[in-house]
């Protein structure tokens, strides 16, 4: 009986980890942060910053990176507090404000990974985190969740495609009606 309860608890913890990871990976990173990262990465001024970062002392670089991560975490926690206290819109704004900072922090990490990995504890922490993510991604619960999420994503795309086709094609009845109403109002206003 104790073993069964332990297995259920472990499965529950795995489920929570999988849901959190999927929410972060699929919704936050793929939907929002990755495009912001790509946009930020395209700025020419970042080439100059990249050169400065490469010349920077490893300890100073670690401080800058840690400061960026701390800011991201504080904004996320504060956004959560605002959500819980009922200030959803303000919480949402704080959460959105952390995304460009997180994207910049990710960029700083990618650009200076070799310097940051000079710290044995940092390298160990990073490797342990990547191993934990790999372990999570190999869990049956994660694989099933991703399969279900993929099917849901596909269904949503089909629904959105049908809505777009039905209402927003150039010659759809909906667009024709909107154009007709627009021209009617425009004609009456000219009189």
> Which DSSP string do the residues of the chain spell out, in sequence order?
-HHHHHHHHHHHHHHHHHHHHHIIIIIIIIIIIHHHHHHHHT-THHHHHHHHHHHS-HHHHHHHHHHHHHHHHHHHHHHHHHHHTT-HHHHHHHHHHHHHHHHHHHHHHHHHHHHHTTSHHHHHHHHHHHHHHHHHHTSHHHHHHHHHHHHHHHHHHHHHHHHHHHHHSTT-HHHHHHHHHHHHHHHHHH-
User: What predicted TM-score, i.e. pTM, was given to this entire model?
Assistant: 0.58
> Looking at the domain assignment, is residue 149 inside a domain?
no
Cα–Cα distance, 15 to 112 (Å, whole number): 34
182 within a domain of the structure (yes/no)? no
Report the pLDDT value the prediction gives residue 109, as an integer from 0 to 100.
87
Q: Is residue 30 part of a domain?
A: yes
- The answer on pLDDT for 133 being more than 60 is yes
- What whole-number distance in Å separates Cα of residue 190 and Cα of residue 15? 62
Residue 159 lies in a domain: no
At 37, the pLDDT band (50, 70, 90 cuts) reads low
Structural domain contains residue 167:
no
Q: Is residue 72 part of a domain?
A: yes
Q: How do residues 93-125 score in pLDDT, each as one tens digit?
A: 888 888 788 878 888 888 898 999 999 998 998
Is 176 a domain residue? Answer: no
**pLDDT attached to residue 86:** 83
Total domains in the fold of the chain: 1
Q: Model confidence at 180, in pLDDT bands (50, 70, 90)?
A: confident
Domain limits at 120?
2-138
HSE, side-chain direction, 13 A CA sphere, residue 139 = 21
| Distance separating alpha carbons of residues 53 and 80, to the nearest angstrom | 32
Average pLDDT taken over every residue of the chain: 78
Q: Is residue 181 assigned to a domain? A: no
């Amino acid at each position: 009986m104790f073993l069964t309860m332990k297995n259920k608890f472990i499965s529950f913890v795995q489920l929570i980890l999988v849901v959190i990871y999927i929410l972060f990976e699929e919704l936050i990173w793929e939907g929002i942060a990755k495009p912001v990262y790509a946009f930020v990465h395209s700025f020419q001024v970042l080439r100059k910053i990249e050169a400065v970062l490469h010349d920077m002392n490893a300890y100073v670089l670690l401080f800058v990176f840690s400061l960026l991560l701390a800011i991201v975490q504080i904004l996320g926690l504060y956004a959560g507090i605002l959500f819980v206290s009922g200030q959803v819109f303000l919480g949402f704004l704080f959460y959105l404000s952390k995304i460009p900072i997180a994207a910049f922090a990710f960029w700083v990490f990618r650009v200076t990974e070799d310097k940051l990995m000079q710290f044995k504890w940092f390298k160990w922490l990073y490797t342990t985190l990547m191993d934990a993510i790999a372990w999570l991604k190999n869990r049956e619960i994660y694989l099933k969740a991703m399969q279900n999420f993929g099917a849901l994503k596909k269904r949503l795309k089909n629904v959105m495609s049908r809505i777009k086709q039905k209402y927003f094609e150039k010659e759809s009845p909906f667009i024709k009606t909107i154009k007709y109403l627009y021209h009617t109002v425009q004609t009456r206003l000219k009189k």
